[in-house]
């Protein structure tokens, strides 16, 4: 069994114990353990502390610097450095039980090719001598959470097929559900294994539940991506957002009504606010423990949670809408000279070579959630120089190298055929936009010659030219926007307003 382990770390002391446990016991060792140091740059005061893991594991540990943008970006940085078919994600605050490696091998070895992932079991140890606190119960929810990356193994090919984790999720808890839903929508299955990790409850202060409300911002993106039923499909609790919004509105309007000389209305609104806060507090106090400290914390935070949750959800909706207007609705890509080196009339997949940095640039688009399509003139078919099945074989090889590229829109006609699809005419661009269900004017086409730019203009789309030695000087001069590499072009396409010139 060949696999690699990815551990994003925020610098928790528990990382040392995790590495010790991972190196102990039976079972095949991982080919590599990639520890992604994801501490924010401002907090880094020295190297990440790894302790002294067993020698046979220590020689396999690779420490890499993460982007510092949260667990989704850190996991992407890890698995994209991996080389094995299976990558196992572990959080830096879990502890694999003895025999975890052996159990992982058994979990993965029996899976069919249509199974993209295997979820491990998470056990949260709770106090035996008293009821758990609200924070302890919250952490214990990981035991029943679907697809938690506290212990989750994925096929690297499946991650590549869907673009990995969506880096627009800056926090934990939603990025793993989003990935799993996209994997399932791509036609894969997810299995539940038998291996087990412990997830101890981390120490937390009295306001931890208040800070947790920031996750409501991510729910806006989940709904936009997966629709109203995403909670049911992801097995996520329904939540109290509507109730929180009502309580917050009552609390905010009550003093306004009083100032406006409407005491009865103000009293009614105040009573509604008080009843809502009391109900929330009791729902959290009733399971216990009912000591003075816990009760005081529940009362205080129950008054603050409704406006905090409402604010974060509104902030998430605003950010989502701002992103949706800033990002293109789709990026369309020329093939020859843009994604791969141009070999005229090539029908041989063995001659396909990806442009430098192409995979990284495309992964950037996938991580941003931008749909892709390829629009390519293949006049060799119309000229009788290559067959359509050879074009399809080359296209398959391109996706083997660069990952999924969405629908392929190909014009097989010769230049003199008078078709509407051959670039610089707009047919391919308009057809790609229709296939993707987006507006052509909100698409960006990236290509290497003037025909690509002209096709985008004719369809009302934006264009970025990435010149090659074959691009004519007059085409470069006429382009509205140019970039030195495909990666640079992607950054321009993603930047707000810059690709609309």
Q: Name the strands in the sheet holding 408-411, side by side, starting at the edge strand that comes first in the sequence.
A: 408-411, 372-377, 330-333, 443-447, 462-465
The two structure tokens encoding residue 422 = 């051959």
Q: Nearest 5°: phi and psi at 152?
A: -145, 125
Percent of the chain with pLDDT over 70: 98
> CA–CA distance from 100 to each of 16, 23, 197 (Å)?
17, 10, 8
501 confidence band (pLDDT: 50, 70, 90): very low
pLDDT of residue 334: 97
Question: What CA–CA distance (Å, rounded) separates 9 from 284?
Answer: 31
Q: Which residues are paired to 95 by β-bridges? A: 198
pLDDT at 41: 72
Mind listing the pLDDT tens digit for each residue in 409-454?
Answer: 999 999 999 999 999 999 999 999 988 888 899 999 999 999 999 9
Mean pLDDT of 144-153: 95
Nearest to residue 166, comparing CAs of 326, 359, 363, 321? 363
Q: What is the pLDDT of residue 204?
A: 94
Confidence at residue 323, expressed as pLDDT on a 0 to 100 scale: 65
Average the pLDDT over 309-329 and give the result: 84
Residues of the chain with CATH 3.90.550.10: 3-203
Please say whether the dihedral angle defined by the alpha carbons of residues 83, 120, 111 and 109, taken in this order, is positive or negative: positive
Mean pLDDT of 222-232: 89
What is the band of 1 on the pLDDT scale with cuts at 50, 70, 90? confident
Please give the CATH number for the structural domain made up of 327-500: 3.40.50.1000
With 80 as the cut, is the pLDDT of residue 78 above it? yes
| pLDDT value, residue 324 | 61
Please give the pLDDT value at position 419.
95
Known catalytic residues are 334, 336
Using pLDDT thresholds of 50, 70 and 90, give the confidence band for residue 274. very high
Name the average pLDDT for the chain.
92
User: What's the predicted TM-score (pTM) here?
Assistant: 0.73
Domain(s) labelled CATH 3.40.50.1000 in the chain stretch across 327-500
> Has residue 496 got a pLDDT over 50?
no
Return the CATH number of the domain spanning residue range 3-203.
3.90.550.10
């Amino acid at each position: 069994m060949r696999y690699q382990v990815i551990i994003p770390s925020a610098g928790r002391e528990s990382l040392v114990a995790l590495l010790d446990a991972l190196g102990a016991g039976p079972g095949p060792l991982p080919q590599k353990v990639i520890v992604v140091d994801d501490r924010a740059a401002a907090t880094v005061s020295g190297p990440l502390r790894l302790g002294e893991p067993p020698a046979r594991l220590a020689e396999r540990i690779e420490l890499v610097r993460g982007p510092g943008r949260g667990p989704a970006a850190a996991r992407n940085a890890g698995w994209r450095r991996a080389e094995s078919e299976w990558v196992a994600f572990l959080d830096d605050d879990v502890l694999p039980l003895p025999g975890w490696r052996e159990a992982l091998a058994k979990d993965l070895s029996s899976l069919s090719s249509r199974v993209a992932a295997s979820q491990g079991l998470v056990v949260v140890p709770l106090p035996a001598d008293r009821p758990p606190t609200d924070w302890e119960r919250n952490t214990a929810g990981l035991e029943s959470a679907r697809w938690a990356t506290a212990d989750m193994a994925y096929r690297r090919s499946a991650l590549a097929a869907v673009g990995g984790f969506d880096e627009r999720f800056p926090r934990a808890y939603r990025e793993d559900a989003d990935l799993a839903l996209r994997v399932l929508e791509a036609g894969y299955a997810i299995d539940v294994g038998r291996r087990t990790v412990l997830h101890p409850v981390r120490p937390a202060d009295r306001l931890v539940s208040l800070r947790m409300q920031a996750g409501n911002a991510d729910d806006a993106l989940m709904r936009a991506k997966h629709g109203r039923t995403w909670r049911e499909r992801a097995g996520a609790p329904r939540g109290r957002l509507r109730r929180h919004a009502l309580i917050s509105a009552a609390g905010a309007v009550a003093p306004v009504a009083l100032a406006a000389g409407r005491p009865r209305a103000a009293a009614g609104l105040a009573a509604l606010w008080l009843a809502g806060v009391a109900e929330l507090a009791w729902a959290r106090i009733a399971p216990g423990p009912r000591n003075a400290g816990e009760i005081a914390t529940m009362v205080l935070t129950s008054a603050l949670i409704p406006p905090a949750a409402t604010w974060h959800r509104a902030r998430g909706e605003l950010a989502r809408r701002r992103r949706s207007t800033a990002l293109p609705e789709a990026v369309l890509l020329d093939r020859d000279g843009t994604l791969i080196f141009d070999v005229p009339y090539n029908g041989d997949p063995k001659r396909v070579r990806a442009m430098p940095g192409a995979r990284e640039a495309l992964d950037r688009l996938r991580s941003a959630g931008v749909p892709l399509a390829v629009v390519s003139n293949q006049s060799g078919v119309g000229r009788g120089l290559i067959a359509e099945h050879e074009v399809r074989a080359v296209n398959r090889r391109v996706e083997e190298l660069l990952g999924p590229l969405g629908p392929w829109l190909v014009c097989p006609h010769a230049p003199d055929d008078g078709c509407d699809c051959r670039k610089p005419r707009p047919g391919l661009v308009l057809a790609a936009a229709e296939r993707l269900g987006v507006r052509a004017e909100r698409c960006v086409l990236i290509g290497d010659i003037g025909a690509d730019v002209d096709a985008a203009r004719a369809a009302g789309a934006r264009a970025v030219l990435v010149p090659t030695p074959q691009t004519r000087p007059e085409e470069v001069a006429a382009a509205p926007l140019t970039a030195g590499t495909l990666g640079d072009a992607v950054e321009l396409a993603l930047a707000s307003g810059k690709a609309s010139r």
